[in-house]
């Protein structure tokens, strides 16, 4: 219980520091290693997408203090499968996003089927399904994927730390 409270306190301090210090977003932004980081709400976990390797890794939030690319055992490779019409990713997330304005309600590419829930203010809610595993995410052309949930953890969303997520322009 004490360790749990200590972790929550550290997390609260980190998030508060990020909000108060303007350079925190710069530190969390894509670095030389091209890391895009998402925080799992209500936990001390983050999901690190290193687009230069490419590798997706689930890490403790303390990873943000070292940013050394020494990833733990929870993760694995992913691949980009994009073409002229779609952004596409296989791996930790399986997503397909039409490039440009999203006008279709349903689409499929590379074995991933997707549909648009809603779209407003340059933000789109999309669900993609591959092999009965789904990812529901919020996407904008400017910021990329800013939030997602997966079928394994439907009540625990991940939110982008920084301003540029996967597939941001």
Q: What is the pLDDT of residues 54-112, one digit of tens each?
A: 999 999 999 999 999 899 889 999 999 999 999 999 988 999 999 998 999 999 999 99
Helical residues (DSSP H) of the chain, grouped into ranges = 2-20, 23-28, 63-66
- Give the pLDDT confidence score for residue 153 in this predicted structure: 83
CA distance 125 to 111: 20
Partners of 67 in beta bridges: none
Element (H, E) at 112: strand 112-120
Percent of the chain with pLDDT over 90: 68
pTM, two decimals, is 0.80
Residue written as token pair 């920084």: 162
Q: What is the mean pLDDT of residues 163-167?
A: 96
- Give the pLDDT confidence score for residue 25 in this predicted structure: 42
């Amino acid at each position: 219980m004490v360790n749990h409270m200590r972790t929550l306190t550290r997390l609260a301090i980190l998030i508060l520091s990020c909000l108060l210090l303007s350079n925190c977003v710069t530190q969390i932004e894509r670095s030389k290693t091209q890391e895009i980081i998402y925080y799992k709400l209500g936990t001390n976990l983050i999901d690190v997408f290193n687009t230069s390797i490419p590798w997706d890794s689930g890490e403790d939030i303390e990873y943000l203090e070292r940013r050394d690319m020494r990833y733990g055992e929870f993760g694995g490779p992913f691949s980009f499968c994009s073409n002229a019409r779609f952004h596409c990713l296989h791996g930790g997330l399986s997503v397909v996003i039409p490039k440009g304005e999203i006008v279709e309600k349903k689409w499929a590419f590379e074995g991933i089927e997707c549909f648009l829930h809603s779209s407003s203010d340059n933000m789109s809610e999309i669900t993609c399904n591959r092999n009965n595993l789904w990812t529901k995410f919020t996407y904008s052309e400017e910021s990329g994927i800013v939030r997602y949930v997966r079928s394994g953890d439907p009540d625990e969303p991940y939110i982008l730390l920084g301003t540029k997520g996967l597939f941001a322009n």
